[in-house]
Structure 1
């Protein structure tokens, strides 16, 4: 994961062009402004904490500063990865990649229903959001699956779901493409 953060944050600068089977989720989402706002907040917090802690211990001040700077790099890498890793519909699989923060693969034959909805839903052990930011990010697509599926989050943490909610920029086009694929596989 650390290598991916470094790669997306500092190596991969080319703009990626979406293919016909790919869909963005970052253009109208609230996640990007949240992550962008966190970076200067971390910078200010680092400066203030360094000054305060240096009165007590120079070593502690520099240790906390290093951790804060590292956190800023992490958030920057997460932010950049969201621009590079889009959702895609392959042959019989949907790949939902939320940057390097989380991802899920759903077999199209496993889809029970797809709904365009931003209505509040109650989250529990089988109803999840793709975004690790949870309630801070809205959703506009809800997919219900027949058999339990898995979201792989940061550091490989796995969570099961039967209903997955997420935000996508062009929800109608995404649903239409899935409906078309689903009718072909039935």
Structure 2
């Protein structure tokens, strides 16, 4: 009798084998001489890459534990392959797909993730707990996107949009929560950075547009998005709090640094504002060297800080800014 787990592994293997077969056959046709003798073949190849492959994959994973949103990377892979194997003169159907269908797919994904985030956030608020929306976004993306690296990138982009454009309601810290921006002046610093980026962008845009309009608009878009990212971080700082629970310490620095440790991993926490030159010491900050700190946390073993887009940074000690430092030290002294 064949064990159920063996059947499951075989089926998963079959899914990827079928997908690989469709993509490989499309590549074979795209690189063959038939494409030049039969120009209409390009429509069929692009249809296989952007419709057949994602749909077959979606049908095959529908009743499995593979997240449905994993079809999005499959679609992206199909578009990427089509862009490289189809000659530019035959890419009209692919251009149409990119211009009209792909934006609808992206909006649908944003809508699905956004709806789940709203429901999860509402549940947290009903339970009378502070809603760490970025944390909720990361949880929901991890549930829907199997690859943790991809899910973290997607979560960061979602958080940038949420905090940069929609998060305007004030948030108040709970009893065991602490802010990290009121006494450091970092909010004014970040607003100044946003203003400088916008002013420089406008000036540079009018200068470049005389030389190359396309380059001018690309740089304008990148600069504008950079300003939104900094603004999103500044607003996240005011809405994501350092939390002290019975079992854990949750350290948060807007969108640029998260660290959750159990109390038995913490060696000491002390008031600290001096310069320090010591290996393995990191600062939980976006603009290191410009932002202040008032605590030094030492760990018994190396810990990992989660940075933007899921990037990691290891450290043995961490410099942190915490408002109401004395109350924080009194609270954590019972646990360290």
Provide runs of 4+ in structure 1 moved above 6 Å.
none
The alignment status of 1:160 with 2:311, answered yes or no, reads: no
Structure 1: distance between partners of 2:257 and 2:311: 9
Structure 1: distance between partners of 2:271 and 2:229: 32
Hey, what does 1:136 align to over in structure 2? Answer: 290
Answer with 4-13 or 146-155: which moved more.
Answer: 4-13
Hey, what does 2:305 align to over in structure 1? Answer: 151
Give aligned pairs, total.
181
Answer with 4-13 or 137-146: which moved more.
Answer: 4-13
What secondary structure is seen at the aligned counterpart in 2 of 1:18? coil
What secondary structure is seen at the aligned counterpart in 2 of 1:145? strand
What secondary structure is seen at the aligned counterpart in 1 of 2:289? helix
Structure 1 position 99, deviation (Å) = 0.8
Hey, what does 2:323 align to over in structure 1? Answer: 169
Structure 1 position 13, deviation (Å) = 1.8
Structure 1 position 123, deviation (Å) = 5.0
Structure 1: distance between partners of 2:199 and 2:167: 27
Structure 1 position 64, deviation (Å) = 0.8
Deviations 1:152-171 (A, max 9, x none): 11111111111111111111
Hey, what does 2:237 align to over in structure 1? Answer: 82
Hey, what does 2:56 align to over in structure 1? Answer: none
Equivalent of 1:127 in 281, 290, 306: 281
Structure 2: distance between partners of 1:166 and 1:58: 44
Hey, what does 2:23 align to over in structure 1? Answer: none
Structure 1: distance between partners of 2:242 and 2:191: 21
Structure 2: distance between partners of 1:132 and 1:43: 19
Structure 1 position 35, deviation (Å) = 0.6
Structure 2: distance between partners of 1:165 and 1:119: 10
Hey, what does 1:41 align to over in structure 2? Answer: 196
Deviations 1:62-92 (A, max 9, x none): 1111111111111111111000101001221
Structure 2: distance between partners of 1:50 and 1:33: 26
Structure 2: distance between partners of 1:72 and 1:168: 26
Structure 1: distance between partners of 2:194 and 2:249: 32
Deviations 1:119-139 (A, max 9, x none): 111153x11111132111121
- Residue ranges of structure 2 left out of the alignment (5+ in a row): 1-155
Structure 1 position 110, deviation (Å) = 1.3
Structure 2: distance between partners of 1:39 and 1:159: 26
Hey, what does 2:184 align to over in structure 1? Answer: 29
Hey, what does 1:61 align to over in structure 2? Answer: 216
The alignment's TM-score, normalised by the length of structure 2, stands at 0.52
Structure 2: distance between partners of 1:40 and 1:31: 14
The alignment's TM-score, normalised by the length of structure 1, stands at 0.93
Q: Which structure has more helix as a fraction of its residues?
A: 2
Hey, what does 1:112 align to over in structure 2? Answer: 267
